[in-house]
Amino acid sequence: MMVEDRNIRRLGIAAGGLAILLIGGAIAHAQTADRSVWTGVYSAEQAERGKAVYTDQCAACHGASLAGGDVAPPLSGSTFLNNWNNTSAGDLFERISTTMPQSAPGSLSGKQVSDVEAYIFQANGFPAGKTMLPPAQPMMAGIKIVASKPAG
Amino acid sequence: MTGISRRSLLAGTTSSLVLSGLAAGGKAAAPGQSAGPTAPDTEWRYYAADQANTRYSPLDQINASNFNDLQVAWTFKTDALGSRKEYQLESTPLLIKGRLFTTAGSRRDCIALDGATGELLWMHRVDEGQRALNSPRQLSGHGVSYWTDGTKERILYVTTGYQLVSLDAATGLPDPEFGTHGIVDLKRDFDQDIDLVNSDVGLHSTPLVAKDVIVVGASHTAGDVPATRYNVKGYVRGFDVHTGRRKWIFHTIPLKGEFGYDSWIGGDADKAGNGGVWAQMSADEELGMIYIPVEQPTGDEVGLYRRGDALFGESLVAVDIETGRRKWHYQFEHHGLWDRDIPCAPILCDIPHNGRIVKALAQPTKQAFLYVLDRTTGKPIWPIVERKVEKGNVPGEWYSPTQPVPSKPPAYDQQGVSIDDLIDFTPALRAEAVEFVKNYKIGPLYTPPVISRPGQWGTITVPGLQGGTNWPGGSYDPESHIVYVYSKTQPSVVGVVPNDDPKVSDFAFVHGIEGMKPRPQIAMGSETSGEFRMPPPPRPAPGQKPGGMPAGFLVVQGLPLLKPPYGRITAIDLSKGDIAWQIAHGETPDNVRNHPALKGLKIPRTGRMGNLGPLTTKTLVICGEGGFYTNEYGVRGAMLRAYDKATGQEKGAVYMSAPQSGSPMTYMLKGKQYLVVAIGGGNYSSELVAYRLPGKA
């Protein structure tokens, strides 16, 4: 309910702000505002790659089942979903790419980060689609993380 | 008008510490720092207010009638400290003579701020390179400690790379008389030879200052899949605050011939590591004792190489401040298999019992028992009874036949799992949960971990591996003798799997789930030990249902497996040993409020999981929320909430941009009461936020 309201508001803002842009651009932007992790924003193949990166780079602290540990938060389930609800895939990308792994922050490539993110999305039950998550933060800023599957 | 009553000042150890703090602060108050017309300045000299760890302040300018009027006085963003942002600022700052002191930022720099404005006064940093990246405890830590003789003032902190630093509080410059140029290398003079760069030891906690001694513990990489059973031993040491010279060491894993060695079978103590003290500690200078909460020896869920009761694992140990000699100890769990390190400092409290005032202590724990002991003798205030417990099926494991169970006070969070504890928002969800747990072992608190296999992936342990209560610990009101403690209801799966890969671990069994290849848990960043970093060959995961959650995810349709509350604050009356009140703490999470299966249902506030320390004042218990939620304006954030400390009734709440990540503290400065809390998490990087009431500062 609340989420829908926000989307409507964002669409309104987007439409208003884009009045001076080309029609095609406005349509693309409107689609972006609609995108959430429930619309198939990563591919199954990408998640599989991400799992390998995760196993090598992340699992030691966050656990094989993404359940977290004493010094690392869970990357799955209720705690994760709620702490990231209403942020964007780009926000999560930035957090991972600038701070992880804690022993060597900044060492993962953009592709590795987006692959890991695809795996995290898969583990949290978000559906796979045909496109891959892009390997850079600005390109996924419009993909909203929404904890609960929107109705309909 | 501040509420420092004569009664509270005279009511026992805790308050006498407050008194001495005030006296010292008052005496040293600089010109230009004149107190307001009605209220003298106060201080916050220790991580949790005082050496007793009460996290209590008798201030009441901020109270139930005005809490909702609080405004942000200033914020301090820590992004520029260290080479990258931090999102997990766990500090509680100190406030001394108008200056706030804390560690902050991803490099764990030490800073001083103006308590009224948040202006940066000085900053100290040590760039430790790879040594810091290898540390098992990264990021900014819990803060700093303070020492003064009335003239000299020192700020003490432990770096990420495990060095003890002594700074002049006025300037932030290292004390040239302390160690080498103000630094003591804690990896030396440790009664064991360890590598200065790669060894697995560090410390998040603040050192404890008692008299002229600085007490420093140790922490290690989490031990679910320990790389080696021969890990660094987490001894505790006392250092002279003037010179940095080591005064004493306490062997948390006893040497041959020392007390406690015989509690180990087959000389396992010679080899075992860990047994660190990563929690905060407490001190009673009058009794001349410090109280150190010890974690397990190596192996959080598997005890193959630490057979026996294995002192001083999971024990609270009282030692002499000046000599480090053991006075008494109490073991809360024998040979634990549930990662139940003692995570926080015991609260020292003088409580009425059988018609007299007893010098006691109350220890919050991961297992959600509050253990109450006489702090002079270590004897329980209420009987603690050894109860028979079940044995598991891990080959070669040693099982304690009994575990100690307090008769009072009652557990303050859920312990163990039964069908009745499963999610029951709707009959369909309950039915799904009942099916779900058929693939796991469930039972009471001390149900042992089992070998993981399809059909029984492991034991669902509640409280989970992260507690119950974790590192922030509790709070205590010395006037009413009530302990306030936050805890979360967060189950964990503890399965055990065989391991034959020495590159993963030299343990024959480790914590894990069948079908998921265990990963080595190594000191972060120790790529130098390349052999431990080789990725294992992928192997099929029978635990993974196609398209579903892998085994080990304790969720039902994305919702927590267990009934709420997921987080709570409990008031425990130590004059009776009973629970006075208990409330859900934290707004209902978004995915519960918006879940399609729960549409139309009226669900009371569920509370939130987190690691939270409450603050107690004259009238209120104040605690921020542990997780984000999206409010009625569509804005993400969390609330700092205030409860009537007598009843638990909520009296007010103010918005924070992110959840509480470090426990709040308070002080009076120039007639204004401030509340300062560390926040951050998710996509919101760390900051300190100071609140005060409106009006001219």
Residues 80-139 of A with CB under 8 A from B: 81-87, 91-92, 94-95, 98-99, 101-106, 123-125
User: The tokens of B164 are what?
Assistant: 């003890």
B194-222 per-position pLDDT tens digit: 999 999 999 999 999 999 999 999 999 88
Pick from A106, A119, A103: nearest CA to A54:
A119
Model pLDDT, residue B39: 85
pLDDT for A17 beyond 60: no
Helices (H), A1-145: 2-17, 23-34, 44-57, 59-62, 77-84, 89-99, 110-123
Model pLDDT, residue A15: 39
B93-138 per-position pLDDT tens digit: 999 999 999 999 999 999 999 999 999 999 999 999 999 999 999 9
Model pLDDT, residue A102: 85
Instruction: Name the residue of chain A whose CA is nearest to B537's CA.
Output: A52
pLDDT for B562 beyond 80: yes
pLDDT for B28 beyond 50: no
CB B685 within 8 A of CB B75: no
pLDDT for B492 beyond 80: yes
Model pLDDT, residue B535: 31
- B552 vs A contacts (CB less than 8 Å): 63-65, 67
DSSP assignment letter at B233: B
Residues 14-73 of A with CB under 8 A from B: 52, 55-56, 59-61, 63-71, 73
pLDDT for B20 beyond 50: no
Between chains, do B558 and A91 touch, taking CB under 8 Å as contact? Answer: no
Model pLDDT, residue A2: 39
Model pLDDT, residue B516: 82
Size of interface A-B (CB pairs under 8 A): 165
From the candidates B462, B553, B611, which should be mutated to test the interface with A, based on the most A CB atoms within 10 A?
B553
The whole-number average pLDDT for the span B36-44 is 82
**Location of structure tokens 């993963």:** B504
Model pLDDT, residue B550: 57
Q: What is the mean pLDDT of chain B?
A: 91
Model pLDDT, residue B598: 94
Using the Cβ of B133 and the Cβ atoms of chain A, whether some distance falls under 8 Å is answered with: yes
Helices (H), B404-525: 427-437
A88-122 per-position pLDDT tens digit: 999 999 999 999 998 888 899 999 999 999 999 99
CA distance B63 to chain A (A): 30
- A68 vs B contacts (CB less than 8 Å): 466
Band (A61; pLDDT cuts 50, 70, 90): confident
Residues 138-157 of B with CB under 8 A from A: 138-139
- Among candidates A55, A99, A103 on the partner chain, residue whose Cβ is nearest the Cβ of B84: A99
- Residue A107's CB is within 10 A of a number of other CB atoms, namely 13
User: The tokens of B545 are what?
Assistant: 């249902």
pTM greater than the 0.80 cutoff: yes
Between chains, do A64 and B629 touch, taking CB under 8 Å as contact? Answer: no
Between chains, do A82 and B590 touch, taking CB under 8 Å as contact? Answer: yes
Model pLDDT, residue B179: 98
What SS3 class is residue A31? helix
pLDDT for B556 beyond 60: yes
- State percent of chain B over pLDDT 90: 85
B342-391 per-position pLDDT tens digit: 999 999 999 999 999 999 999 999 999 999 999 999 999 999 999 999 99
Band (B555; pLDDT cuts 50, 70, 90): confident
- Residue A90's CB is within 10 A of a number of other CB atoms, namely 22
| Pairwise CA distance, residues B691 & B679, whole Å | 13
The answer to whether the Cα torsion of A55, A58, A60, A64 is positive or negative is: negative
B55-69 per-position pLDDT tens digit: 999 999 999 999 999
- State percent of chain A over pLDDT 70: 76
Between chains, do A103 and B526 touch, taking CB under 8 Å as contact? Answer: yes
Higher pLDDT, B315 or A35: B315
Model pLDDT, residue B1: 36
Model pLDDT, residue A5: 40
**Termini Cα distance of chain A:** 12
Model pLDDT, residue B223: 86
- B420: burial class by Cβ within 10 Å (0-12, 13-18, 19+)? exposed
Band (B34; pLDDT cuts 50, 70, 90): very low
- Among candidates A55, A73, A77 on the partner chain, residue whose Cβ is nearest the Cβ of B553: A77
Q: Can you spell out the DSSP letters for B630-659?
A: E-TTS-EEEEEEEEETTT--EEEEEEESS-
Model pLDDT, residue B164: 98
Q: Which are the contacts of A87, defined by CB distance < 8 A and separation ≥ 6?
A: A144, A145, B636, B682, B683
Higher pLDDT, A5 or B359: B359
Band (B522; pLDDT cuts 50, 70, 90): low
Band (A11; pLDDT cuts 50, 70, 90): very low
From the candidates B203, B594, B657, B685, which should be mutated to test the interface with A, based on the most A CB atoms within 10 A?
B594
Cβ burial B152-162 (10 Å sphere, 16+ → b, else e): ebbbbbbbbbb
The whole-number average pLDDT for the span B444-458 is 96
- B519 vs A contacts (CB less than 8 Å): 55, 59-60, 64
Residues 468-527 of B with CB under 8 A from A: 490, 492-493, 512-513, 516-522, 524-527
CA distance A24 to chain B (A): 29
Band (B37; pLDDT cuts 50, 70, 90): low
CB B16 within 8 A of CB B638: no
User: The tokens of B258 are what?
Assistant: 């020392």
Model pLDDT, residue B543: 42
- B554 vs A contacts (CB less than 8 Å): 67, 77
B408-433 per-position pLDDT tens digit: 999 999 999 999 999 999 999 999 99
**Of B25-39, B239-253, B305-319, B438-452, minimum mean pLDDT range:** B25-39
SS (HEC) of B62-79: CCCCCHHHCEEEEEEECC
- Among candidates B86, B555, B592 on the partner chain, residue whose Cβ is nearest the Cβ of A77: B555
Model pLDDT, residue A151: 75
Model pLDDT, residue B30: 39
A18-59 per-position pLDDT tens digit: 333 333 333 444 444 568 999 999 999 999 999 999 999 998
CB B680 within 8 A of CB B661: yes
Model pLDDT, residue B33: 38
Relative to beta strand B246-250, strand B236-240 is antiparallel
pLDDT for A10 beyond 70: no
Using the Cβ of B372 and the Cβ atoms of chain A, whether some distance falls under 8 Å is answered with: no
B489 Rama class: left (phi>0) / alpha (psi -120 to 50) / beta: beta
User: Which amino acid, residue B314?
Assistant: E
Between chains, do B683 and A91 touch, taking CB under 8 Å as contact? Answer: yes
pLDDT for B597 beyond 80: yes
